[in-house]
A and B are shown apart, each in its own frame.
Chain A
Amino acid sequence: MDGTLKIPSVTGIDVELRIAGPGGRSYAFVIDWHIRVLVALAWMIVSGLAYFGSVRTIPALDATSSDFIFIVVLPAAALYLLYHPVLEVLMRGSTPGKRIAGVRIVKRDGGVPGVGPLLVRNLFRLVDSLPFFYFVGLATTLLTKQSVRIGDIAAGTLLVYDDAHAGTFEDAPSSRGIERLGLERAELVRDLLTRWPELRSDARTTLARRLLEHEETVPDTLGDEALRARLERLLS
């Protein structure tokens, strides 16, 4: 499986993006699906209670049925059906689910897709969702080299991983820290500190000790938080 997308540049410095596989895609889709179902249901309940004073699901054919459909059913259906196309356009190739899963839609040249390609990839959901539970879409992501569904093939788009761990320039190591450790080691310390809350206690302790042992003697009695404080001091 070809797992990266190489983006050539006029400067000669290329960048590679990791292509999201069926797992990353499905994870994002499942989150989005839950969000849109919940939002649509919430609308039905809130608008139903506000307008009719009760939660109704099946409209009776009476004088209020068209009010019910225009106020409760249609907006809820629009929220559910237009969630992907509208949010992908507004969030320039992303949705809340994709953000949480750390993926985004890009063009094959790595650029942000325009309105046209985003609408086309959503239009082909009609085929990708056939015959049930996105079977065609899932099958094509499993079978294609770049894990794309038919909508992506039609629109010329891909799903790639966004580097969520990159952080910002604000927490770059200080000059003194770099002078003390060298850039590569300072970056390793910074990377470990960024990921500290996500790592298991034994794993981060082992890594912290290995990094600190190059600079100072580390007593065996030092605990988790003390090791972290020493790492932070190294960078300051």
Chain B
Amino acid sequence: MDKTSKWLEVRLPLWRDVAAKLDSVERGRHADPEAVTKVIAAYPEIARDLAIARREAPRGPLTRQLERIYLELHRSIFRSPSRMRHDLAALFVTDAAKIAAALRWHIVWVTALFFASASAGAWLVNQYPELVGLFASEAMIEQVQSGQLWTEGLLNVVPSSLLAVQIFTNNISVALFALVIGIFYGLGTAYIIGMNGLMLGAVFSYTAQHGLAERLFEFIAAHGFVELSVIMVAGACGVSLGEALARPGRDTRVVAFQRASMRAAKLMVVCCAFLVGAGVIEGYVSPNPSYSLAIRLCIGLGYLALFVIVLSGALGRLPRPRE
């Protein structure tokens, strides 16, 4: 028997064994410690075998199989530990607050842009009421002119559950779009925030002209504070993406963009969870006339307080995960 065939005869059972053990380690939720130890010990051995196989048969199936198993070993040994539950809890308790603190000036600027646009919208419609057609649909305008809000009687048309789902999916789409469109150096996000501000200011001003502003405020009191706050945070995340591309600092643009994207996505998980809650409130509480303004304000401000608590890190610290 020549050297190569002897080598193959000796090594083949080990490769088969490692392939089977690696499969069980990767698939099982709780891996057998003995199998894990064997897999780790096999890593340098497989590396050596791969070097020999590359010399003897550079492009053969055996070399490719060894490369494959070597790569799987490499991935398995060097991957970060999976702590899904802990990471998710950490996101809400500590990480979201850290990211929000890092983005505080972005949030301030986006909020300022939103209120400036809202003021501009309100002023425009106050001075030139006919311009409301730019911001509201014909049906909405007609209803306001007849002394009714478009939100009244909503529950007679659409059930609360459906309304809630429609609202939070729409709001989540807007928030996510406001974030990703920040890739255009933040201008896309600025446009979305500006347009939303203009629209809100214009609609409020128009309803005020017809004596309906108080009823509109009553409608949005329960869900609006968190909904708008989330849009501001999403906008801030979008602007931070644009900033990473425009001013990457010491990193390359790609690295800065990646870091900003991952950071923003984490914060958006928290924001989307709050948008689901806001959608449920908007579906069940806001259109229901049996809730008084005081109750609506309690719900709205209470929910806003929870959002602020999460983003300020006031939930405390999380115990270290068990290794």
Which of chain A's residues has its CB closest to B181's CB? A127
B51 within 8 A of A: yes
A117 within 8 A of B: yes
Q: Are A155 and B2 in contact (CB under 8 A)?
A: no
Residues from chain A with Cβ under 8 Å of B70 in the complex: 9, 13, 15
Q: Is the interface of A mostly helix, strand, loop or mixed?
A: helix
Contact pattern, B 261-286, Cβ under 8 Å of A = 1, otherwise 0: 11001101000000000000000000
Q: Is the interface of B mostly helix, strand, loop or mixed?
A: helix
Interface residues in B64-123 (C-beta closer than 8 Å to A): 64-65, 67-68, 70-71, 74-75, 78-80, 82, 84
A61 within 8 A of B: yes
Which of B12-20, B134-142, B192-200, B292-300 has 4 or more CB atoms under 8 Å from chain A? B12-20
The minimal Cβ–Cβ distance linking B7 to chain A, given in whole angstroms, is 9
Q: Are A187 and B62 in contact (CB under 8 A)?
A: yes
Which of A21-29, A31-39, A108-116, A215-223 has 4 or more CB atoms under 8 Å from chain B? A108-116
Q: Are A120 and B68 in contact (CB under 8 A)?
A: no
Interface residues in B1-29 (C-beta closer than 8 Å to A): 1-2, 4-6, 8-9, 12, 15-16, 19
Which of chain B's residues has its CB closest to A167's CB? B61
Q: Are A126 and B176 in contact (CB under 8 A)?
A: yes
Number of A-B residue pairs, CB cutoff 8 Å, is 147
State the CA gap A206–B158 with chains docked (Å).
71
State the CA gap A109–B47 with chains docked (Å).
17
Residue total for B at the interface (Cβ-Cβ under 8 A): 59
A168 with B258: in contact, given A7-B74, A11-B43 (CB under 8 Å)? no
Contact pattern, A 55-85, Cβ under 8 Å of B = 1, otherwise 0: 0000001000110011000100000000000
Residue total for A at the interface (Cβ-Cβ under 8 A): 54
Q: Are B180 and A163 in contact (CB under 8 A)?
A: no
Residues from chain A with Cβ under 8 Å of B257 in the complex: 153-154
B50 within 8 A of A: yes
A156 within 8 A of B: yes
B4, B12, B265: the one within 8 Å of A183 (CB): B4
A13-B47, A178-B5, A187-B62 known; 16 new pairs, CB 8 Å cut-off, are A7-B74, A66-B161, A111-B75, A114-B80, A114-B82, A123-B265, A124-B183, A126-B176, A150-B183, A156-B258, A163-B64, A167-B61, A175-B1, A178-B2, A179-B5, A190-B62
